[in-house]
Structure 1
């Protein structure tokens, strides 16, 4: 049935759309502005002038930043921990969420509430550090993975979604002789793709941006992540700009290529941000659907 269009409805739609478009521009513009500056004449960028498109286009900033010592290995560590960490978090949180939907689970209510409480209360930085040290996770790749296998927020989302799936599907599988793992893997996982994709987006961003573990628990340079390496470089932007200029020699003598601390800082920020920005559009449709379906029940 078609809804009658009135002046009030039309006005509301126009105002509502305008507000959201303006909000989107406000959110996107800083990222776009930084990206444009990294591709523009560095002296122009250092002046603080507003540019809406690259002036004096070049990609030398990215070429020189990606040549910095340790960037290649750090990029590999970050990519590996993001992929492996996301996979383990999805597996651990989704299976625990499935168990919490079973009425005959041992101490179900207590364990579920215990998991939820950890969302709001934690021991603090020092006890966390001591705990990681006592577990012998310091200076190991496992420190990026094991502490995040179960995430309370993801457990809530997935549990709520699974509870919306008809129980008849699980009961029919049980009649055919399927066990808990078989039902979970063959029935629930395929049906839960929207919420799992949503959790995957959340966890990918979390794993990719996580700096704390590397900052406090890792001293082995072979395990440094891209975020930590670029964080160090960004804090030394002045010295780094001079170093790159010296190492670059004649190829960087032109004024448009002359690196400045501002250019180094902005290029480093874009190197960290771009991978996630490129991945998100492919997951966005699952992300929206999963959030809506996972929020049906409280």
Structure 2
């Protein structure tokens, strides 16, 4: 029975840590190496990690100075000893049969390097899952990156490494960009680029904790601006591929990013930033990318809105606020 290394970066989540670790400890697949990487957490998490290590011999705790999630993940990767590697964020949780399900798919689809399952946003615990008929597809060669770029653009959470079980040698070949957010994007691209076969299931096995639905949670925060930088890195990788469609999909993703950020500003505003300055910077990039965006396979309504943003963002923002008030009325 192959061993799975589960890497869990831990920082400031004492309220949720036990829920996360319990979901991993109680997996129906038992041959696990659970690596808790305390990233210099200022709360009670370091003590909680040590207590978990005493309770379960499969758990290993590492304490390090705060460096961010990427550093913590890289620390976990450097010491992982399993044949397979996966990640869980410490405020999220997984279904009890997640890894058994993944291993069964690997046994069924011989030669697969990566298994991916579906995710669900959750604002309450526990959650009710609506059962859906299982659909499992697999991708090989150039189809892997093509599907990755297409599906990740369409669906939230598509870039996340937490929804995947990776073959360890391939996963450990690369590291996450440190000091940045959205580090999953280019890391997952590089790993999938080296894969021979990628199995993708529609079954929900991972639950992203999304606390509250307040207006402030939708505001564009300073760190969110690093998304554009992350997509630029991803686009560079796409342009290096000797395959026209991958390069095109990279350009489309880059073109959609300032539009996506502007949409959040239009609906929710910004937090702790100069809205006018940020908007002008994003509009400059958006107008440059507009021809690519208009030719992209996106809904017509978004193309109309993208033109409106380019022509008059203040009017577009006013119009969206009116629509939002009617929806919430």
> TM above 0.5, one fold?
no
Structure 1 or 2: more helix by fraction: 1
Q: Computing the radius of gyration over CA atoms, which structure comes out larger, 1 or 2?
A: 1
* TM-score normalised by L of structure 2: 0.21
Structure 1 or 2: more strand by fraction: 2
Between 1 and 2, higher relative CO (CA 8 Å, sep ≥ 6) is seen in: 1
